[in-house]
Structure formats: C-alpha cells, structure tokens
C-alpha cells in the first residue's frame, strides 16, 4: 500500500480525499484471501497531510482461455454470460462484483475501480467456443457482472468486437449497462434486434445528478441514461430500465419517477433489485455511508438488516434479489403498482435462438464443407 495515498482517520486507514477524487470507494483494504493486512501510522512528520495526485487507472491484460462464464443460479434468467472486463471504472459503491477482485489478489475497494483487467482476445475466444460442435445455443448476457461499456471500452472496443461475432453467428444477446457509450454500437444492435436477437436494459439508480455522482462517480449522468433509453428504442432496439439497486432511505423514494421517465423515453419493460452487501461490500458500503450520509447511516443499515433477516446480507437464491419482510414487501408493491399503471412488462421480449448458424471462417477454411449442408 502506498502511504502517500492514505490518511488516518479514527484509527483506520482510508484513502486521501485527493487520491480518490472521482472514485467511489473510501478505502483499499486487502482482499479476504491475502495473508497480510496493511496499517498506516502517522509518524508525526506530516507526510500524510500532503495531497497526492488522483489515483490513475491501470489496465492489465487478462490472459483468460475462455470467455463464456456459466452459472446455475435459480434466480437468474440466463445460464451464460460474457464479461469483457474485470473491475469497473464506474466506481459504483454498491457493485456486487467488487469481491471478485479479491480472487486476483487485489482490493475490492479502490483497486476494483482503478486496476482493470481487459480481455483483448475475447472476440477470438468467443468465436472458438461458438464453433465447437458441442456448443448449444442460448441467449448470452453481457454486463451482468461489470459494465461492458465502462469508459475503457471507448478505447479498447472489446465489447464491439464481441457483438460483431455474435451478429455473424446470429446469436441472441441481452445487455445491461449504465453507459451511453452503447449508442456507438446501435448499427450492430439494431440489425440484431430486427431479427429478434438483441435487447437492452439501462440501469438507472436515481434521477438526481448529485446523488449519482456520489454513488457511481464515473457512470453516465441520469439524464444521459434516460436519453439512451429513447435513442435505442427509437432505433428499434427493445430497451427497458432496471431500477437497481434500490437502497433504503437513499434512492427508494425515486422508483416511480424512474419508471415514469423511462416510460416517456419508450421503455416498456422494467425490473428492480434491492441492494446487496456480500463479503467486503458491507464494509465498503458502511464507510461510504458514514462519509456521504452520516446522519442517515444508521437508518439505512437498520432498513437493510430489516429486509435481510437481521443480517447485512442474505445470500439465499430465493430472497437475495428482493429481500423479505415488511420493508421489502412495500418496495415490491410500489414497483409493481407503478409498472402496472404505466403498462410495463405486458409482453415478454423473448430472444430467438432458432437462427443460430456457424458461418464460414473469414479465412475460407471449412467453406467447402458448407456444400454438404442441408
């Protein structure tokens, strides 16, 4: 840990305000698998009072050998997904993917949003997996872990390369993002959507620019996200809204307003997820609450525990997305009442798997065998 990047407050090591400017997490504690932890002590020379430079983003090449991740979770409507990046510059303090950085020997705190692993070989790996004779098609979900349209995508274009492969194979895809950068790829997505192969959800946590900057400092503004819903729907790409996550006493009062704004922009499907605080996130979230909302911190955590059976987090498949108890029931009732009033979710947007075809290789290899295709 670089001592120039931290200060001591109330006996705990936290990032210096200048070093974390534009970031979401307050600290950068070691991951749960690390054998050692780091403590910073002020020796009286005042070195910790010096303002360091803002923390820069470091990109690391991810040399993964496969790109399609599988899951058997009974509460998730897909069994496979693609993550073009590990870690996310958006810096959302509530991001449930943060603990995955601990598997890399990195911190789920500031490391998660500043030390990003990119997968430049993703498109080639995907094509290899789709050409496997044993592959069986089903919709692929993107953006379900880290955002595939985070700021780095503008330069690396990994997500676009993946979409180009899926388009050539007529492979269905669904995307969740909070980035307006997705509009760059409307040329591909519109063509796929016209064949029933693509749909999108834009995640909108709040319509308040100030709150959004505090919760998710490098994501698109709420206005840009609602505008993106309109642009994508206008291009014929079915685009809904995810009011996620709902955080007690922080943004729970905005559910109806978010749905109304998205509906005006053309969204006709909607969903919500309650905030989840697994593993290191509960500590990171508490630090953030005390920093940003000291007067509300205890109330927020009390409501979280009220819907999580008295705990900070409930990992059970059947309740982790919605919570349980009076508060969770009230949020669900409000969401469903507003969705029904506005006409959301009246028609399920199913993706078509019947069009999947393995195309000839671009180098011509295997094209001769197509002569024997039925």
Residue 14 pLDDT grade (very low, low, confident, very high; cuts 50, 70, 90): low
Q: What is the pLDDT of residue 50?
A: 65
Residue 197 φ/ψ, nearest 5 degrees: -115, 0
pLDDT band at 272 (very low <50, low <70, confident <90, very high): very high
Is residue 48 in a domain? no
Do residues 238 and 244 lie in contact, with contact meaning Cβ atoms separated by under 8 Å? Answer: no
| Residue 350 belongs to some domain of the structure | yes
Give the whole-number percent of the chain exceeding pLDDT 70.
Answer: 87
**Structure-model confidence comparison of residues 198 and 43, the more confident one:** 198
Q: How far apart are CA 80 and CA 139, in angstroms?
A: 7
SS3 content of the chain, % helix, strand, coil (to 5): 35, 15, 50
We report the CATH number of the domain holding residue 262 as: 3.20.20.70
Q: Model confidence at 33, in pLDDT bands (50, 70, 90)? A: confident
Residue 13 in this model has a pLDDT that exceeds 80: no
Q: Please report whether residue 97 resides in a domain.
A: yes
pLDDT band, very low/low/confident/very high, at 48 (cuts 50, 70, 90): low
pLDDT at 53: 73
Number of domains in the chain: 1
Q: Rounded CA gap, 365 and 267, in Å? A: 43
Q: Is the pLDDT of residue 72 over 50?
A: yes
Would you say residue 44 lies in a domain? no
CA angle 175, 67, 95 (to 5 degrees): 50
Q: Could you give the count of Cα atoms lying within 13 Å of 107 in the half-sphere of its Cβ?
A: 19
Q: Above 70 in pLDDT, residue 374?
A: no
Taking residues 225-251, what's their average pLDDT? Answer: 98
pLDDT for 178 equals 97
Predicted local distance difference test score (pLDDT) of residue 74: 86
Residue 132 above 80 pLDDT?
yes
- Residues above pLDDT 90, as percent of the chain: 78
Q: What is the mean pLDDT of residues 258-266?
A: 98
Range of the domain at 67: 3-37+54-356
Element (H, E) at 116: strand 115-118
Considering only CA atoms, which of 282, 275, 251, 274 is closest in space to residue 322?
Answer: 274
Residue 106 resides in a domain? yes
Out of 5-9, 153-157, 253-257, 314-318, least confident range: 5-9
In this structure, the number of other CB atoms found within 10 A of the CB of residue 205 comes to 26
| pTM of structure | 0.89
| Cβ pair 126, 162 in contact under 8 A | yes
| Residue 251 belongs to some domain of the structure | yes
pLDDT, mean over the chain: 90
**69 phi and psi, to 5 degrees?**
-95, 140
Tokens coding 115: 């030390």
Domain contains 369: no
Summarised one tens digit per residue, pLDDT across range 212-235 is 999 999 999 999 999 999 999 999
Distance, CA of 278 to CA of 324 (rounded, Å) = 16
In a domain, 47, yes or no: no
């Amino acid at each position: 840990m670089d001592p120039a990047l931290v200060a001591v407050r109330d006996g705990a090591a936290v990032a210096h305000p200048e070093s974390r400017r534009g970031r979401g997490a307050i600290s950068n504690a070691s991951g749960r698998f690390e054998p050692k932890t780091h403590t910073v002590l002020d020796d009286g020379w005042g070195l910790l009072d010096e303002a360091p430079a803002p923390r820069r983003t470091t990109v690391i090449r991810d040399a993964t050998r496969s790109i399609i991740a599988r899951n058997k979770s009974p509460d998730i409507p897909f069994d496979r997904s693609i993550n073009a990046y590990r870690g996310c510059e958006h810096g959302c303090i509530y991001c449930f993917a943060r603990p995955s950085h601990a598997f890399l020997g990195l911190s789920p705190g500031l490391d998660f949003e500043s030390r990003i692993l990119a997968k430049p070989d993703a498109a080639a790996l995907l094509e290899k997996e789709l050409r496997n004779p044993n592959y069986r098609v089903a919709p692929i979900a993107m953006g379900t872990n880290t955002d595939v349209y985070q700021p780095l995508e503008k330069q690396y274009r990994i997500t676009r390369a993946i979409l180009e492969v899926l388009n050539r194979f007529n492979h269905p895809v669904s995307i969740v993002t909070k980035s307006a950068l997705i509009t760059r790829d409307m040329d591909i997505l519109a063509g796929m959507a016209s064949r029933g192969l693509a749909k999108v959800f834009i995640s909108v946590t709040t319509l308040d620019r100030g709150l959004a900057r505090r919760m998710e400092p490098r994501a698109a503004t709420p206005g840009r996200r609602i505008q993106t819903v309109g642009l994508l729907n206008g291009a014929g790409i079915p685009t809904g809204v995810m009011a996620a996550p709902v955080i007690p006493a922080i943004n729970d009062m905005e559910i109806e307003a978010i749905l109304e704004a998205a509906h005006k922009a053309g969204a006709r499907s909607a969903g919500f997820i309650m905030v989840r605080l697994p593993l290191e996130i509960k500590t990171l979230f508490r630090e953030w609450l005390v920093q940003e909302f000291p007067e509300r911190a205890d109330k927020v955590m009390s409501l979280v525990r009220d819907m999580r059976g008295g705990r900070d987090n409930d990992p059970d498949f059947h309740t982790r997305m919605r919570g349980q108890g009076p508060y969770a029931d009230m949020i669900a009732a409000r969401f469903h009442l507003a969705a029904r009033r506005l006409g959301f979710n009246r028609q399920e947007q199913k993706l078509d798997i019947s069009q999947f075809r393995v195309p000839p290789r671009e180098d011509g290899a295997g094209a001769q065998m197509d002569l024997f295709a039925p």
